Structure formats: C-alpha cells, structure tokens
Amino acid sequence: MYTLEKIKEHIAEKINKALGEEIIKASSLVYPPSLEMGDLSLPCFQLIGATKKSPAESADFLINKISADDIITNLKAIGPYLNFTINKEYLTEEVMKEISKEKEEYGKNKTGKGEKVMIEYSNANTHKEYHIGHLRNICYGEAVKRILAASGYKVIPVSYINDFGIHVAKTLWNYDDFIKEKSLKEKIEKMPEEEKGYLLGEMYVAACRREEKDKTAKTMISFFMKKLESRQGAEYKLWQKTREWSIKYFAKIYEELGVCFKDIFYESQYIDKGIKMVKRLRAEGILKESEGAVIADLEKLGVLLFLRSDGTALYPVADVPLAIDKFKKYKIDKSIYVVDIRQSLYFKQLFAVLEKMGYKQKLIHLGYEFVNLPSGMMSSRTGNVITYRGLKEEMLSKAAGETKKRHKDWPQDRAEEVAEKITLGAMKFEMIKVSASSVITFDINKALQFDGYTAAYLQYTYARINSIFRKSQIANRKSQNFKSEELVEDKENNLILKLAKYPEVVEKAGESYDPAEIAKYLFELAQDFNDYYHSVPVLKADDDVRSARLAMLSAISQVLANGLELLGIEALEEM
C-alpha cells in the first residue's frame, strides 16, 4: 500500500469512528480543485442518511469530531466539503523513501491478482501498406499491455494478421501488371524482403485504382480468391512468396517500436478449421442458410455473415476458431481485442456467437478512433494515407536536423541515434496522449516540439534533470543526504504530492485501459518541475537544502522514467 493510500485509509478510519459506523472508504476522498483548500477532500453528500443533516452541516459536524494528528495537520469545512491538509514533512519522508527503495517498481500494483489476460493488437493486413492508423493500434495496444503488466496481470501479447482476405486477391491480381509497369521484374529479386513488403502496399493501392476502370476486375479478383482458398496453383505459390515479404516488413516495424509478441496468429491458419466449424454450427442451429449465404441471426444485434453466397469466407469464419484456440492454448481468463471503433458492432456479434457456443471467458473490444490527415480521413483504397515508413522518415529528418543544430560537437552516429529515439517517442506519444475515443489529426511539426504536450518535452525534462546532476558533479545521485524538513517551499510540497499520486494514476490507467491518464500525469509533472526549477535555486542553495532538492529531482526523474516506460517511450539522458 502506497503512502497516499495509507493516508486515505487513515482519514476514512477517523471519519467512520466519528460517525460510529463504516460508511466512508478511502476511495470516497477526492482532490480539491485548488491546493489552497487542502490536499484531500470528502464530499459530504453521502452522509445525509447517517448524520440526518445537510452536506454542509455534515462537514461542520465532522470538523468538531475529528482532531488533527501527526498525519493530518488541518481540517477545513468549505460548504459541503470537508478538506484535509497532510503533514508535509511526513508525506515527503514517506514518498521519498518509497521511490528511493522501489526505483523502477514504484507505481506498480497488484490489482490484477495474477489474472491471465491476452491482448491482441497490431492486426495488420499483409499485401497492404502499414500506415498511421496501424501505428495508433500498435502504440495503444503496447501501452495497455505494459500498464496491465504493471497492474499485476499476467499479460500475453499477441497479434492476428489478416493474410487471406479479398485485399490479398486484389494485390496478387495486379502483381504482374504492377511489376511490368514499374520495370521491377529484375530489381525486385535483389530487394530485402522488408522492402518488398512495403512495395506490396503500393501494389494494393494501384490495384484499387485499376479495379475501378477494369470491367473484368471483379470476376478476376473472385477467381484469385477461390484459387487461394483451394491452396493450389501459381496464384497460391505467389501468395506464399509475397506473404513472407509482408511478415518480414512487419517484423522490422515491431523491432523498431520495441514491440514483442508472445504469439502471432494468421487468418490463413484458421480458414479451413472455420469452414469445418461452420458445418457443425449449422447442424447445431447456431448458424443457418439465408439466400445461399450462411449467417448467424443474432436478433437485436442483427445478422452476422459467415459465408457469402459464392461460398467464400468472411472474418468470423477464422475469428471463431481463433478465439477458441486462444482459450485452449493459453487458458486465459480474459481476451482483449484492440481494433478500431468501426468494428464495435462486429465484436458484439462475434462475442454473442461465442457465448451461444458456451464460452464464458470475458471478452473485451477496445475500440479507438481514426487518425486523420490534415485534409480529412485516410483511405487505404485511394492511397490517401501516411505510411508508417513515410511518417518515420519525414520525422527523423526533422529530428536529426534539430539535434545536429543543438549539438554540433556530437559525432554523426550519436546525433542520429538520439534523433531516432526522439522520433519514435513522438510517434508513440501522439497516438496515446489522448483517449482512444478521440480522433487524432497528426501534425508532424507539433509532435516534435520541445515544449507543449509532446514526448520530446517529457524526454527533454528528463534530460534536463540529468544535466543538473552532471553540473552538480555528484557521482551517485541515489545516495543524497536527504532531510525532509528542508523541503518547505509550496512548489516543493506540490511536487511531492504529485509524486505521491503516481501509483493511483497507474492503477486508474489499468482499470480504464487508458494510457492517456499516464501521459497527462507526466506532462503535468514535467510542467510543475520546470516551473519549480525556474523559480527556486537548486545547485546554488545551502548544502542541506541543495541535497534535499537534488534528492527530490532524482525522485522526479525516476517517476518520469517509470511513466515513459509504461508508454513504451525511452527516457533520454541527453538531447
């Protein structure tokens, strides 16, 4: 139990003792809108039944029943709220002790109780471009995975790749024409496979454009799809070869982003299982035939199509056996799917089918909104997208230029390494700094700014604290001679309280599957630190005060590093 939680439990116990019954919990306490009002506050609306008084009268009643002590130094009734001021020396001593002892573990909790959770994300399509919509998926999924692991869950990260849909047939139908038109027949054999994977995205876009003009396209694409499903012939061999290109390209992206999956599933592995299952589910009455197609009639949730009238399969044909395979292979308690918000109805329908089949595991769809271009929505069909590679290259060029300008004495490789970390941090942070329900319009220039709500600002703040320690010439920042009574400035008290709140933020982010909670917290902590450092001397203070302030800065940098780690962003020693 962390310090702030202990304090809340202590206050709740005092209130309940005054009331003569157990009514208030630690979670009943909130934070006042202004620190001038106090550090914690009890809304007294819930006490009407116990006190037989109005909320304001209840606050006045309690203030006469509860006395200050070593932990609570002051109580104040403001309207219907009873506000508490924490003993700053006690809070400082305890919080600094916790952070110094726990280091990288500070903020982690055990709310998950070891529950086994599978989280599926980065559900990309082979034979298509990997764009910033996919980037939002993987950054969101990865951050949720890290936060759940920090919250005591046993997390199994997996990816599900759609390598067998109609989009594949379109790309392969256009393969020969594209190669011929771009004069790539000889060049393509010499390309690294991940480069070929990127090229497949261009082929897909060209296929969509060609399809609009070619009257035979629909028939030919359907022919290609059936050949793939038969797993025979030249078309199937071409699929096998090109599929590997996409897989290698995705692996390169995962490596760059620091993402590692326990398992990767592919739609092609489950199509045949699914078609056999469809027959069984029809016999059981869970599925039925309708106008030549096979459907699940889910009443209020509508109709879910499994097989088209021409016999070709749709997503649930693979998704149902995949879900069952997950349950059996990993014995999971909960399965989380990170897929964009447009698929909300589909997942409700899929979960309903699995429930009809007797599966009772908790199934959760984490939807997220679009990532827009400044001109509007992305469309894979028209090619009006920012690809992952295109985005990274443009941002890396800007970050490298800025890094070289700031550090003309740095060798080229060092400047490039830091620029890449700034770029990856910016890409990730832009995707998770707002809630999943918010639409993102990605602005490259704003994302790389060293001030404002950006990863670069957080990385710069961390690097700035390291710079202060370099100037202090202290070899071991962790062994500061710390005296809590030396930290008496209001801004210091506010920073300590902010550090104390970090474990709560991690817990809340885990409960709500919302990395933005941590992003906002880190930004506020960085702002508070920079405001403090501009107005309060650290290195020029007297020895005892200097040591105490440096110890506090060390704690701030530790919490910044811990929070950035949960977001999948690297804290930089210098930038």
Nearest alpha carbon to residue 518 among 2, 143, 119? 143
Nearest to 276 by CA among 329, 321, 228: 321
C-alpha closest to that of 303 among 319, 321, 291: 291
Residue 537: name the closest of 571, 491, 498, 495 by CA.
491
pLDDT of residue 384: 67
Assigned token pair, 517: 């909670």
Report the DSSP beta bridge partners of residue 152.
none
What is the token pair recorded at 152? 């005591």
State the average pLDDT over residues 380-384: 62
pLDDT digits (tens, 9 = 90+) for 186-197: 888 889 988 999
Pairing mode of beta strands 371-372, 440-441: parallel
In 3-state terms, what secondary structure has residue 366? Answer: strand
Domains of the chain, by residue range, sit at: 3-86, 121-270+315-372, 388-566
Q: Which of 570, 549, 555, 573 is nearest to 464 (CA)?
A: 573
182 — pLDDT class (breaks 50, 70, 90): confident
- Give the model's confidence band at 178: pLDDT under 50 very low, under 70 low, under 90 confident, else very high: very high
pLDDT for position 381 = 61
pLDDT tens digits for 522-532? 999 999 999 99
- In this structure, the number of other CB atoms found within 10 A of the CB of residue 275 comes to 18
Domain 3-86: assigned CATH number: 3.30.1360.70
Q: What's the pLDDT tens digit per position in 431-452?
A: 999 999 999 988 888 999 999 9
Looking at residue 482, its pLDDT comes to 79
Residue of 43, 56, 132 whose CA lies nearest to 385? 132
Q: Judge whether 3-86 and 121-270+315-372 match in fold.
A: no
| 76 neighbors 39 (Cβ within 8 angstroms) | no
Domain 388-566: homologous superfamily in CATH: Isoleucyl-tRNA Synthetase; Domain 1 (1.10.730.10)
pLDDT value at residue 382: 60
Residue 92 has pLDDT above 60, yes or no: yes
The pLDDT of residue 428 is 98
401: left (phi over 0), alpha (psi -120 to 50) or beta: alpha
Is residue 135 pLDDT above 90, yes or no?
Answer: yes
Q: What is the pLDDT of residue 473?
A: 80
pLDDT value, residue 377: 57
pLDDT band at 254 (very low <50, low <70, confident <90, very high): very high
The predicted structure's pLDDT at residue 379: 60
Least confidently predicted of 24-38, 184-198, 294-308: 184-198
Measured between alpha carbons, how far is 518 from 534 in angstroms, rounded to an integer?
Answer: 24
Looking at residue 477, its pLDDT comes to: 61
Distance CA 511, CA 509 (A): 6
Report whether 367 contacts 340 (CB < 8 A).
Answer: yes
The whole-chain average pLDDT of the chain stands at: 94
Q: 121-270+315-372, which class in CATH?
A: alpha beta
Residue 92: both structure tokens together? 């400082």
CA distances from 318 to 36, 266, 392 (A): 58, 9, 33
**What phi and psi, each to the nearest 5 degrees, are found at residue 156?**
-115, 100
Q: Write out pLDDT tens, residues 46-77.
A: 999 999 999 999 999 999 999 999 999 999 99
Would you say residue 385 has pLDDT above 90?
Answer: no
Q: How confident is the model at residue 376 (pLDDT cuts 50, 70, 90)?
A: low
pLDDT of 474 reads: 74
Contacts of 30 (CB under 8 A, 6+ apart): 40, 41, 42, 43
pLDDT higher than 70, residue 140: yes
What's the CA gap between 347 and 364, in Å, rounded? 9
pLDDT score of 19: 94
**C-beta separation of 106 from 532 below 8 A:** no
State how far the Cα of 6 lies from the Cα of 19, in Å rounded to an integer. Answer: 20
Residue 239, both tokens: 């699929």
% residues pLDDT > 90 (the chain): 86
- Region 368-393: mean pLDDT is 77
- pLDDT at position 476 over 70: no
pTM of the model: 0.94
Q: What is the dihedral of CA 122, 125, 130, 131, to 10 degrees?
A: -80
pLDDT band for position 475 (cuts 50, 70, 90): low
